[in-house]
Amino acid sequence: MITVHLLNDSRSQRVLWLLEELSLPYEIKHYARDAKTRLAPPELMAVHPLGKSPVLQDGSRTVIESGAIIDYVIRHHGGGRLSPAAGTDDFEACLQWLHYAEGSAMLPLMLRLYTSRLGEAAAPLGPRIDSELANHLGYVDRSLAGREFLVGDSLTGADIQMSFVGEAARGLRASYPAMDAWVRRLQARPAYQRALERGGPYTLAG
């Protein structure tokens, strides 16, 4: 049985969505953020030393990092679904998106979140963060222009992994209509909605 260690309002939600898209059986162990610090509880460190979420357990295997989890689940349980054929250009593009989401795209979004708590002290960083946001969100938006999905003509792990980037940019998406429409299409999928029902409140849905 697959177990997902899920932290509320986190990247864990896209892992549930993946499992629902593949109709795989799984169970959830819920963890709540500290109301003041918004950090994960120390109980997660008993699952993995980093104390972060998501963590996926599949039998004796423990897998961390959203991109690695999505890749693992698709390879071991996907049965050819949600991934282009190995060796194709689309396969390589899909793999690139899996790494890009957290390797580059999320950095300016996280910097924007953290510096927003600093008030005027963060003002010198504002122009550089805004420039990086425009660079990365513009890239995603252009990649989606005239397309329903990031790779090929159907949903892949690339869309699932990158969905959190689009959701985290929800206050900015009006300037990126192709990305905004893509996020709304993904969130309307039945499997996405089932994942919300099982995972509980998720403030980035919308």
Q: Which residues of 148-181 are buried (b: 16+ CB within 10 A; e: fewer)?
A: eebbbeebbbbbbbbbbbbbbbeebbeebebbbe
Phi and psi at residue 31, to the nearest 5°: -135, 140
What domains lie within the chain, and their CATH numbers? 2-82+191-199 (3.40.30.10), 89-189 (1.20.1050.10)
Beta strands in 59-206 (DSSP E): 61-64
Q: How confident is the model at residue 193 (pLDDT cuts 50, 70, 90)?
A: very high
The string of pLDDT tens digits covering residues 1-56 is 999 999 988 899 999 999 999 999 999 999 988 888 888 889 999 999 999 999 99
The string of pLDDT tens digits covering residues 93-129 is 999 999 999 999 999 999 998 888 778 877 888 889 9
pTM of the prediction? 0.94
